[in-house]
């Protein structure tokens, strides 16, 4: 790669080929009529929100639009409680509601909400072939500006294709007024990019040796997400305290990571093994006292777990941890049976078994990866250790931001969190440190070291 550079927000927006405008500022909803005229050429909108985000942003946006002569063709407000889920049936609800409006082909859907509202309307607008506008209400996720939506379908949390918003208007007063847990969720999602980067380094090398779903590093997307990451994290650490400058920095950073996904049409630049932990827990509808755990808080614990796993795997300068005594690479049938046992009773069972079989490489490719990583171990280890934060530093940063630190805070146990690594390795073909450890026979050894540790996930 060429030397890393830190592009500006404007440069990142220019590299995103779907979003044309991002307006950030206090009381910026006054720009909405201009955005509609310039980028959509339409004067009719359909607003979607939930009960909470309608009060935070929807009502204000509606008043501004009506005053400017913009016609409100309809409003759909999901209940504030129970907390809205990114389930596909909610997309169907929006599609039906919008398509029932006369001349709906000429309106602009507007999402006034946080990540779930945005993902639901993003996909609904895509199915209706309509460009949409996003009004984020919290700096809680990177999905606002991303290509695709993270939706639960058939028991599987999947990123399904759909176009990013044509424009966004982020009122910083609204963002700063969001509940603290949403801002800390966004911080956890941003911190996860550290591990996403280390996994991408590994995938880049493994992909050159034949590993599936192992994207080569794209310099533009890498420079959008990685060189400025630590600076953004330090500047946004007080976001959950309502600090406006910190919230602005957090939202800007999350928007940029979304633009990197637009640029590549994949989540590879911003999602690695840490998100795989989270996806497993999303399949299980992880909740505390009946309240679903936010995406960012699940990712936070996933990031701590993935950092521990990565640190142990690359602990020795002499090579990866040795395989357990008597280790033998399983056959395809054995691997499918293992995945079947791990997801017995899950709605995702059949999909996981299929994925586990698809990602099992032939022996020749596995040997090539094993040999190449062993031959260049010191070099690749140096790159990974330079990319990740030491576990203690990461934990302290997350603590300062108000993120959860212990598995129990999000309804897990330490044992269950560590055990999730095995299931997380099965559910996606996207290559990560979990796959490399598995391919090199070290997976079980790493897990045992995590279990025995007096530091990790405590």
* Domain at 402, CATH number: 1.20.1090
Asked whether residue 187 falls in the same domain as residue 157, the answer is: no
pLDDT beyond 80 at 157: no
User: What was the pLDDT predicted at 82?
Assistant: 87
On whether both 168 and 290 belong to a single domain, the answer is no
Residue at 50 is within a domain: yes
Q: Residue 378: pLDDT above 90?
A: yes
In a domain, 426, yes or no: yes
pLDDT at 411 over 80: yes
Q: What is the pLDDT of residues 68-99, one digit of tens each?
A: 999 999 999 999 988 888 899 999 999 999 99
Q: Could you tell me which residue, 293 or 153, shows the higher pLDDT?
A: 293
Half-sphere exposure of 176 (CA within 13 A, CB side): 17
Q: Give me the mean pLDDT over the 424-439 stretch.
A: 96
CATH no. for residue 27?
Answer: 3.40.50.1970
Q: What is the pLDDT of residue 137?
A: 98
Return the SS3 of 82.
coil
pLDDT band at 252 (very low <50, low <70, confident <90, very high): very high
pLDDT for 1: 52
Q: Residue 36: name the closest of 65, 67, 76 by CA.
A: 65
Does 2 map to a domain? no
- Please indicate, yes or no, whether residues 283 and 391 belong to a single structural domain of this protein: yes
CA distance 273 to 286: 18
Q: What is the pLDDT of residue 3?
A: 55
Same domain as 435, residue 340:
yes
- Which residues lie closer than 8 Å to 44 by C-beta, 6 or more apart? 70, 71, 72, 73, 103, 106, 107, 108
Report the distance separating Cα 435 and Cα 420, nearest Å. 14
Handedness of CA 302, 423, 419, 431 (dihedral sign): negative
Judge whether residue 272 has pLDDT over 80: yes
Please report whether residue 229 resides in a domain: no
3-7, 144-148, 238-242, 394-398: least confident range: 3-7
Both 162 and 187 in a single domain? no
Count CB neighbours of 382 within 10 A. 12
One domain for residues 193 and 94:
no
pLDDT at 159: 82
What pLDDT sits at residue 154? 72
Domain boundary residue, one of 120, 153, 177 = 177
Looking at residue 192, what is its pLDDT? 98
Residue 258 in domain: no
**365 falls in which pLDDT band (50, 70, 90)?**
very high
> Does 60 reside within a domain?
yes
Range of the domain at 158: 9-177
The pTM is what?
0.95
Mean pLDDT score, 376-401:
98
Question: Average model confidence (pLDDT) for the chain?
Answer: 95
Say if residue 399 is in the same domain as residue 443. Answer: yes
Residues 441, 446: Cα–Cα separation, whole Å? 10
Measured between alpha carbons, how far is 413 from 288 in angstroms, rounded to an integer? 12
The pair of structure tokens assigned to 84 is 């809205």
Q: Where are the beta strands (DSSP E) in 122-281?
A: 133-136, 149-153, 156-160, 167-171
- Asked whether residue 251 is assigned to any structural domain, the reply reads no
Q: Which residue has the tokens 């650490």?
A: 237
Q: Is residue 163 within 8 Å of residue 147, measured between CB atoms? A: yes
Question: Is 238 inside any structural domain?
Answer: no
Give yes or no: residues 173 and 186 share one domain.
no
Question: What is the pLDDT, as a whole number, of residue 317?
Answer: 98
Write down the pLDDT at residue 2: 53
Structural domains in the chain (count): 2
Asked if pLDDT for residue 142 goes beyond 90, the answer is: yes
* Distances, alpha carbon 398 to alpha carbons 179, 188, 327, 393, in Å: 17, 7, 37, 9
Quote the pLDDT of residue 150. Answer: 86
- For residues 80, 85, 88, 92, the Cα torsion angle rounded to the nearest 10 degrees is 0
pLDDT per position as a tens digit, 178-227: 999 999 999 999 999 999 999 999 999 999 999 987 889 999 999 999 99
Answer whether residue 174 shows pLDDT above 80: yes
Q: Are residues 139 and 173 in the same domain?
A: yes
**Do 434 and 358 share a structural domain?**
yes
Euclidean distance between CA atoms 8 and 253, whole angstroms: 11
């Amino acid at each position: 790669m060429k030397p890393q550079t830190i592009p500006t927000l404007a440069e990142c927006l220019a590299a995103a080929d779907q979003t044309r405008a991002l307006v950030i500022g206090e009381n910026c909803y006054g720009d909405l009529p201009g955005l509609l005229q310039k980028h959509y050429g339409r004067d009719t909108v359909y607003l979607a929100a939930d009960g909470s985000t309608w009060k935070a942003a929807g009502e204000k946006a509606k008043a501004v639009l009506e005053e400017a002569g913009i016609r409100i063709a309809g409003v759909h407000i999901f209940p504030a409680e129970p907390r809205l889920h990114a389930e596909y049936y909610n997309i169907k609800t929006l599609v039906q509601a919008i398509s029932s409006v006369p001349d709906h082909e000429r309106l602009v859907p507007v999402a006034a909400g946080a990540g779930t509202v945005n993902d639901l309307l993003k996909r609904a607008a895509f199915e209706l072939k309509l460009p949409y506008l996003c009004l984020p209400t919290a700096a809680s996720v990177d999905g606002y500006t991303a290509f695709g939506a993270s939706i639960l379908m058939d028991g599987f949390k999947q990123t399904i294709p759909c176009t990013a918003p044509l424009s966004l208007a982020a009122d910083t007063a609204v963002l700063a007024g969001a509940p603290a847990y949403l801002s800390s969720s966004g911080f956890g999602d941003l911190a996860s990019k550290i591990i996403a980067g280390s996994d991408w380094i590994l995938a880049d090398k493994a992909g050159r040796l034949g590993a599936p779903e192992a994207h080569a590093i794209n310099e533009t997307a890498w420079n959008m997400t990685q060189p400025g990451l630590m600076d953004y994290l330090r500047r946004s650490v007080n976001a959950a305290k309502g600090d406006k400058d910190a919230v602005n920095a957090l939202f800007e950073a999350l928007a940029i990571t979304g633009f990197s996904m637009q640029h590549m049409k994949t989540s590879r630049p911003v999602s690695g093994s840490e998100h795989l932990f989270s996806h497993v827990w999303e399949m299980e509808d992880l909740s505390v006292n009946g309240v679903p755990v936010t995406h960012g808080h699940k990712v936070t614990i996933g990031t701590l777990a993935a950092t521990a796993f990565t640190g142990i795997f690359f602990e020795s300068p002499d090579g990866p941890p040795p395989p357990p005594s008597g280790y033998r690479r399983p056959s395809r049938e054995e691997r499918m049976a293992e995945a079947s046992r791990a997801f017995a009773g899950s709605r995702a069972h059949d999909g996981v078994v299929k994925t586990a079989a698809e990602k099992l490489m032939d022996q020749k490719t596995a040997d090539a990866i094993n040999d190449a990583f062993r031959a260049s171990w010191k070099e690749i280890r140096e790159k990974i250790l330079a990319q990740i934060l030491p576990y203690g530093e990461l934990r302290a940063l997350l603590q300062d931001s108000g993120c959860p630190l212990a598995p129990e805070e999000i309804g897990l146990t330490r044992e269950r969190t560590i055990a999730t690594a095995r299931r997380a390795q099965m559910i996606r073909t996207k290559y990560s440190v979990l796959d490399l450890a598995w391919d090199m026979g070290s997976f079980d050894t790493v897990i045992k070291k995590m279990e025995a540790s007096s530091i990790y996930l405590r």
